[in-house]
Amino acid sequence: MSDDQIVERARQILYGRLTKAGMPEMEFGDLGVLAGMHLAGRTEETLVVFWLDSEWRLLGFEELAIGDETGCRISTRSISRKAVAANAAMACFFHNHPTGSATASHADKVTAGLIDERMAAIGVFVIGNFVVCGNRIECIRTGHAWDLISTEQNPCCPTCKQGWPTTEASPTQGEPS
């Protein structure tokens, strides 16, 4: 089996674990790994989303926009239409930085805020909005960063020493955030 075949099989396994049939409750870190695998090696910035139901089950994974090496554009109206079409209660967004830094730009922060507002207006809770670059992931809201693949048992942000968010620590559909 080639390396590419192994990666594709791992992607299939992770996706299966996150679907309704495969796993009743998602592992949040698996989303980051799956997004990282999907975005690895891209030379253009790409925005992807995981749509989830109110029980944290994966409804779908979608590539929303592809740009150039410095950015991509998509309207929040388009994103909200896709969320409604997916019947999503929650969403988790990831995009890559082909330039080599996982640090969120000012434009990333503004766009993430606009997405959060639009999704809240239609009742979709945004779990997070993240930048992926290589093995690194950064939360746009907090600036906290993790390694996607780590040898540690529970990898955590070197800044605050917090691990990946858990389903228990996040609001569920219908509760105030």
Domain-located, residue 152 = no
Let me know if residue 25 belongs to a domain: yes
Number of structural domains (the chain) is 1
What pTM did the predictor assign? Answer: 0.77
Grade residue 148 by pLDDT with cuts at 50, 70 and 90: confident
Is 153 a member of any domain?
no
- Residue 164 falls inside a structural domain: no
CB crowding 146-173: b at 16 or more within 10 Å, else e: bbbeeeeeebbbeeeeebbeeeeeeeee
Asked, for residue 170, whether it belongs to a domain, the answer is no
The reported pLDDT for the residue numbered 172 is: 43
pLDDT bin (cut points 50, 70, 90) of residue 150 is: low
- Read off the CATH number of the domain in which 9 is found: 3.40.140.10
Structural domain that includes position 70: 3-147
Q: Are 31 and 82 in contact (CB under 8 A)?
A: no
Q: Is 167 within a domain?
A: no
Q: Tell me the pLDDT tens digit for each residue of 97-132.
A: 988 888 999 999 999 999 999 999 999 999 889 999
- For residue 25, pLDDT beyond 70: no
Question: Of 22-36, 51-65, 82-96, which has the strongest mean pLDDT?
Answer: 82-96
pLDDT of residue 20 exceeding 70, the answer is no
The answer to whether 129 and 115 have CB atoms below 8 angstroms apart is yes
Residue 156 lies in a domain: no
User: In this structure, is residue 165 part of a structural domain?
Assistant: no
Residue from 102, 122, 104, 127 nearest 49 by CA: 127
